[in-house]
């Protein structure tokens, strides 16, 4: 990928911002199982970083997707996975469809404040009974006069306890499962919404993950993003950016995990020499670094294809799959060389280990990625 002065400037700005405004607070936010999303997003909005690829009319910078990828990579400098994930939800998961297909009024009222950092957004696809199988969601939005009346529940929703609005996927008709869905912007203070539960997790501690109930929630039909019945298609498109973003975001954390481990292993002595001096250790770290750089190359290649306008579904899926596999492999291998220290809660590598486990499950599990890749390989059996 060819990097410009603007790419470098984004990297520099984020490095400074993360060092000054985020990393000093990460341990406290992790312990509190929450971070101040409005405060952090406002500062990022003021720096112009929440709308790199969004239209200029909404306050964005209208740059191509390589800039989002560079930002996702740079956010890997944050000392936890939760805060970058929350930022990624705002910039590349809850807002791409709104930017692309939303009406002028919707973009003015919801996209522009999200880009400015005045609103926190979340994306509501998964439900208690449907995650991997997006077509199986049960939440409905029934037409009543000029409104939709929404009933159902969304589960695992990142940012949802602090969010101002949700980009919600709901069934808006009785048509076939891929043609009956719409994306709707739902303000989170609408009567009938209950933030039923904050879900405790094994990692991504600073991120709020909610179970949200919808009980006769009324929003105007004008809050629908784009055409009725195209929500599934829009969401599948939106997933491509989410998956590229997630793959890019993993790279720096994995590299840091290896570097920190080499530093520790160099200092720690066993059997008369440093842990690092044992060939099995430095060879293993060399192998892991090679894997991470292969991931970087795959992410850049997928990004180039996306920027050139091609269908990137297969490549984004391969990039996400590889990043999620490595997010399990690398921290697990590195933890080994820290001995008992690696098994303690506050160790940086144990945080990578806990946070990194999410990738293979969320945003399309590894098996979902394999299914997509197999489909593009024409090796996936047709379902009867
Ligand atoms: C911390 C966290 C944050 C999240 N944030 C959000 C969010 O902001 N918005 C949102 O909408 N969702 C969010 N999710 C939900 C996430 O995307 C789902 O958990 C994920 O899609 C898996 O769905 P599920 O949990 O229902 O598992 P299921 O769909 O029940 O799948 C269970 C397992 O089945 C396996 N599997 C899946 N498909 C296949 C297949 N074809 N063949 C074989 N095996 C398969 C996988 O191993 C999978 O893990 C989040 C989840 C977590 C844990």
Cα–Cα distance for residue pair 306/297, rounded to 1 Å: 14
- pLDDT digit string, tens, across residues 73-82: 999 999 999 9
Q: What is the pLDDT of residue 1?
A: 86
Residue 310's pLDDT band (cuts 50, 70, 90): confident
Using alpha carbons only, what angle is made at residue 317 by residues 311 and 322, rounded to the nearest 5 degrees?
A: 140
Q: How confident is the model at residue 54 (pLDDT cuts 50, 70, 90)?
A: very high
Cα torsion angle, 298, 246, 40, 98, sign = positive
Residue 321 has pLDDT above 70, yes or no: yes
Instruction: Give me 2's structure tokens.
Output: 């060819």
Residue from 168, 170, 324, 362 whose mutation best tests the ligand 1 pocket (most atoms within 8 A of CB):
362
Please state, in angstroms and rounded to a whole number, the distance separating the CA atoms of residues 286 and 330. 11
Handedness of CA 102, 246, 113, 221 (dihedral sign): positive
Interior angle at CA 160, CA 158 and CA 162, nearest 5: 115
53 and 72 in contact (C-beta within 8 Å)?
no
Q: Is the pLDDT assigned to residue 180 strictly greater than 80?
A: yes
| Mutate which of 161, 365, 368, 375 for ligand 1 pocket (most atoms within 8 A of beta carbon) | 365
* 332 close to 326: Cβ distance less than 8 angstroms: no
**HSE, side-chain direction, 13 A CA sphere, residue 172:** 22
pLDDT tens by residue, 136-167: 999 999 999 999 999 999 999 999 999 999 99
The pLDDT tens digits of the residues spanning 191-229 come to 999 999 999 999 999 999 999 999 999 999 999 999 999
Q: Token pair of 226, please?
A: 């784009």
Continuous segment of H or E residues that includes residue 44:
helix 37-46
Summarize the confidence of residues 109-123 as an average pLDDT.
98
Chain-centroid distance of CA 346 in Å reads 24
Q: What are the two backbone dihedrals, phi and then psi, of residue 137, each rounded to the nearest 5 degrees? A: -60, 150
User: Rounded mean pLDDT of 81-109?
Assistant: 98
Q: Which two tokens stand for residue 100?
A: 């692309």
Strands 181-187 and 224-225: antiparallel
Distance set, CA 180 to CA 126, 137, 227 (Å)? 16, 11, 11
Ramachandran area for residue 254 (φ above 0: left; ψ -120 to 50: alpha; else beta): alpha
Q: Is the pLDDT of residue 91 over 60?
A: yes
Once rounded to an integer, what is the mean pLDDT over residues 310-337?
97
Bridge partners of 166, per DSSP, are 122, 186
Angle between helices 65-74 and 231-267 in degrees, nearest 10: 40
Q: How far is CA 198 from CA 15, 155, 158, 208, in A?
A: 31, 10, 10, 7
Question: How many Å lie between the centroid of ligand 1 and the Cα of residue 133?
Answer: 8
Catalytic residues: 242
Q: For ligand 1, is residue 359 a contact (CB within 6 Å)?
A: no
Percent of the chain with pLDDT over 90: 98
Q: Is the CB of 117 under 6 A from ligand 1?
A: no
Q: Which two tokens stand for residue 233?
A: 């298609």
The answer, yes or no, to whether residue 339 has pLDDT greater than 80, is: yes
pLDDT at 384: 52
Mean pLDDT estimate for the chain: 97
């Amino acid at each position: 990928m060819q990097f410009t002065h603007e790419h470098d400037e984004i990297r520099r700005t984020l490095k400074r911002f993360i060092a000054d405004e985020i990393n000093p607070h990460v341990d406290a936010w992790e312990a509190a199982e929450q971070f101040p999303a409005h405060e952090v997003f406002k500062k990022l909005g003021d720096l112009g970083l929440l709308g790199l690829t969004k239209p200029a009319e909404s306050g964005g910078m209208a740059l191509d997707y390589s800039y989002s990828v560079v930002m996702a990579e740079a956010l890997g400098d944050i000392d936890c996975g939760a805060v970058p994930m929350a930022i990624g939800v705002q910039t590349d998961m809850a807002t791409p469809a709104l930017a692309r297909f939303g009406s002028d009024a919707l973009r003015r009222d919801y996209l522009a404040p999200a880009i400015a950092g005045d609103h926190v957004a979340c994306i509501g696809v998964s439900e208690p009974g449907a995650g991997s199988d997006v077509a199986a969601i049960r939440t409905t939005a029934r037409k009543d006069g000029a409104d939709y009346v929404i009933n159902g529940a969304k589960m695992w929703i990142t940012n949802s306890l602090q969010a101002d609005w949700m980009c919600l996927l709901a069934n808006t008709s009785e048509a076939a499962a891929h043609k009956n869905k719409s994306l709707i912007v739902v303000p989170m203070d609408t009567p009938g919404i209950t933030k039923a539960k904050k879900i405790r997790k094994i990692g991504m501690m600073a991120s709020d993950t909610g179970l949200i109930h919808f009980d006769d929630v009324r929003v105007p039909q004008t809050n629908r993003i784009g055409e009725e019945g195209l929500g599934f298609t829009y969401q599948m498109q939106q997933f491509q950016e989410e998956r590229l973003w997630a793959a890019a975001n993993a790279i720096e954390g994995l590299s840091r995990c290896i570097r920190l481990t080499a530093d520790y292993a160099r200092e720690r002595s066993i059997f008369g020499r440093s842990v690092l001096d044992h060939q099995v250790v430095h060879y293993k770290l060399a192998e892991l670094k090679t894997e991470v750089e292969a991931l970087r190359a795959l992410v850049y290649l997928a990004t180039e294809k996306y920027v050139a306008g091609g269908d990137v579904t297969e490549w984004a899926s391969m990039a996400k799959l590889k990043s999620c596999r490595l997010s399990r492999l690398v921290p697990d291998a590195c933890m080994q060389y820290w001995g008992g220290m690696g098994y303690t809660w506050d160790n940086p590598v144990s945080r990578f280990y806990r946070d990194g486990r999410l990738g293979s499950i969320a945003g399309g599990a590894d098996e979902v990625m394999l299914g997509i890749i197999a489909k593009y390989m024409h090796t996936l059996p047709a379902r009867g």
